[in-house]
């Protein structure tokens, strides 16, 4: 009898998760075994390394393989977020999606929420936002429990941020193109392909999703051959879509020299001196984080690849929020941009948006529609030529926040997608039942898309696939959800005619 029990236990381990009655779920990975935490019918694994710590001699190098470990590694605590800092040292970044201390350079970890009995379940890999400078997959808003509850294996990843993630310098001749953030994300996707079956996930049914910088990352990854075949569907929330060309190496290296000096590097530093700079000093150093990937990673620009139909040909769910312009407030750039905009352009924008448009509203609407809304519509039209696309606009404002806020801010939809309304960054009053009902509907649509590629939900309006002629948007309004056609058509046509890449 003892030998039979041992044989059964060994077989269960080989399949991945341990039996539900075990004290802690265990998964067998290609680097070793990990023990997570049982939370009802969900198995949670936190802080699993998907690449070697990018510290010391591995700083500013492509992600390396994880060193194998013996025994069972405990995976019950989140890994450290990457060092990060906002544009203004006086701003509390945790109110805008930043991670609290402690942070650390050893940050290439991920978290998994899995149904305890999962077998070949669909998978969702989440890339958090934060302008590529702040954020972490461990923030409560990104809790994957609701997805696991509904049959999805959810994976949230950390990746290198700021100057640790995008950096080139003349002294770093071994740094390749400097796009370590993107290479980290590709490494995480490869880890999922190799290991997700251990959690009951299907490596052939992976949806890659992200918001803000995470959404932009999804688009970037769709354009590189290095990520081809690693995901079968894509979700882009407030990710824009019109990308400038990658900078040349000389421009990126000049930016790196300025950043290194701001972080305390001596004149003409060696590679060793650069890699010895304190990570926090680099996180807080002023300057642009630039990379110049080689053509092996990106044969075309991101926008050029999509315009040519050379992106990953997978179903896409994409959309924007009505109040994306709140980013101008968070970055402190509203007043400088308003002051730098000439009277003639202000008048043109006031005419474009109609009566009641003040100069400030004109600048806000221009940012929202030129940076987010028009690119999303352009992407939907281009992408729909190769795969189904579903386009949305999120206008709903939490009823508890309505006195202070008139339009749905950048990132507001996240709390509905994840059903984490109780974990808003700014700690507002509790959500209403109407808000919870809408969150359940939106979450159900995202789950349906992950499972089937079609984001329809029970007892909710059908969401039509995008076509250029009918231009359908699913609008999550203040009172109801409905399909609308030709949303802001005149305004979006205006920006597309001026800024979209040529056909």
In this prediction, residue 175 carries a pLDDT of: 79
Whether residue 42 lies inside any domain: the answer is: yes
**Length of the chain in terms of residues written:** 503
Q: Which two tokens stand for residue 320?
A: 């924007």
Cα–Cα distance between 463 and 237 in angstroms, integer? 16
Within a domain: 348:
no
pLDDT for 227: 98
- Rounded to an integer, what distance in angstroms lies between the CA atom of residue 275 and that of residue 284? 16
189's tokens: 């996707």
Integer-rounded Cα Rg, in Å, for the chain is: 23
Give domain status of residue 186, yes or no: yes
On whether residue 222 sits in a domain, the answer given is yes
> What's residue 8's pLDDT?
31
CA proximity to 366, closest of 324, 408, 318, 412: 324
236 neighbors 318 (Cβ within 8 angstroms): yes
Mean pLDDT by 10 residues, the chain (503 residues): 36 38 84 97 98 97 97 98 80 89 97 96 98 96 98 98 98 91 98 98 98 98 98 97 94 98 97 97 95 95 95 98 95 94 97 97 98 98 98 90 80 96 81 93 98 95 97 95 98 95 71
With contact defined as beta carbons under 8 Å apart, do 94 and 330 qualify?
Answer: no
Residue 282 CA to residue 99 CA, distance in Å, equals: 16
**Count of domains for the chain:** 1
The range of the structural domain enclosing residue 109 comes to 1-86+104-244+269-284+291-314
Residues belonging to the active site: 212, 324, 410
Q: Can you give the pTM of this predicted structure?
A: 0.94
Can you spell out the DSSP letters for 300-346? S-HHHHHHTT-S----EEEEEETBTTHHHHHHT-HHHHHHHS-HHHH
- d(C-alpha 260, C-alpha 60), whole Å: 13
pLDDT at 7 (0 to 100): 35
pLDDT value, residue 401:
67
Q: Tell me, yes or no, whether 30 lies in a domain.
A: yes
Q: Is residue 280 part of a domain?
A: yes
In a domain, 21, yes or no: yes
Residue 266: Cβ-neighbour burial (10 angstroms; 0-12, 13-18, 19+):
exposed
Looking up residue 50, the CATH number of its domain turns out to be 3.40.50.1820
What 3-state class would DSSP assign to 474?
strand
Sheet with 33-35, side-by-side order of all strands: 26-28, 33-35, 72-74
Would you say residue 327 lies in a domain?
A: no
């Amino acid at each position: 009898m003892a030998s039979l029990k041992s044989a059964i236990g060994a077989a269960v381990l080989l399949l991945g998760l341990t039996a539900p009655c075990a004290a802690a779920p265990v998964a067998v990975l290609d680097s070793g075994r990990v023990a997570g935490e049982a939370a009802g019918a969900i198995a949670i694994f936190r802080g699993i390394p998907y690449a070697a710590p990018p510290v010391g001699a591995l700083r500013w190098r492509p992600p390396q393989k994880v060193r194998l470990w013996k025994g069972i590694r405990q995976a019950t605590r989140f890994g450290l977020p990457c060092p990060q800092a906002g544009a203004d040292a006086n701003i509390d970044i945790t109110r805008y999606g930043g991670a609290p201390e402690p942070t650390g350079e050893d940050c290439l970890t991920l978290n998994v929420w899995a149904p305890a009995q999962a077998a070949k379940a669909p998978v969702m890999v989440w890339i958090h936002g934060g302008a590529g400078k702040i954020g972490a997959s461990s923030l409560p808003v990104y809790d994957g429990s609701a997805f696991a509850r509904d049959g999805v294996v959810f994976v949230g990843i950390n990746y290198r941020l700021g100057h640790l993630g995008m950096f080139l310098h003349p002294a770093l001749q071994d740094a390749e193109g400097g796009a370590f953030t993107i290479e980290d994300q590709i490494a995480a996707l490869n880890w999922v392909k190799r290991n997700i079956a251990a959690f009951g996930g299907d490596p052939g049914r992976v949806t890659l999703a992200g918001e803000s910088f995470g959404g932009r990352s999804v688009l970037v990854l769709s354009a590189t051959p290095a990520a081809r075949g690693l995901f079968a569907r894509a979700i882009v929330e407030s990710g824009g879509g019109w990308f400038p060309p990658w900078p040349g190496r000389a421009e990126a290296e000049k930016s790196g020299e300025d950043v290194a000096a701001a972080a305390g590097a001596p004149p003409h530093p060696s590679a060793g001196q650069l890699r010895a700079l304190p990570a926090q000093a680099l996180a807080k150093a002023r300057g642009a984080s630039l990379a110049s990937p080689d053509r092996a990673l990106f044969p075309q620009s991101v926008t050029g690849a999509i315009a040519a139909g050379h992106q990953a040909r997978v179903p896409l769910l994409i959309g924007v929020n009505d109040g994306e312009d709140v980013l101008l407030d968070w970055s402190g750039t509203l007043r400088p941009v308003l002051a730098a905009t000439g009277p003639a352009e202000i008048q043109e924008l006031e005419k474009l948006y109609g009566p009641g448009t003040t100069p400030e509203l004109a600048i806000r609407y221009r940012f929202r529609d030129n940076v987010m809304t028009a690119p999303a519509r352009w992407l939907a039209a281009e992408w729909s030529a190769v795969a189904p696309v579903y386009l949305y606009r999120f206008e709903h404002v939490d009823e508890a926040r309505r006195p202070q806020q008139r339009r749905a801010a950048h990132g507001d939809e996240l709390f509905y997608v994840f059903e984490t309304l109780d974990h808003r960054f700014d700690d507002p009053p509790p959500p209403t039942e109407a808000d919870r009902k809408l969150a359940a509907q939106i979450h159900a649509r995202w789950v349906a898309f992950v499972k089937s590629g079609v984001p329809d939900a029970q007892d909710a309006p059908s969401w039509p696939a995008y076509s250029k002629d009918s231009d359908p948007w699913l609008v999550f309004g203040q009172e109801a959800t409905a399909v609308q056609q030709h949303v802001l058509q005149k305004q979006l046509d205006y920006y597309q005619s001026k800024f979209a890449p040529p056909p």
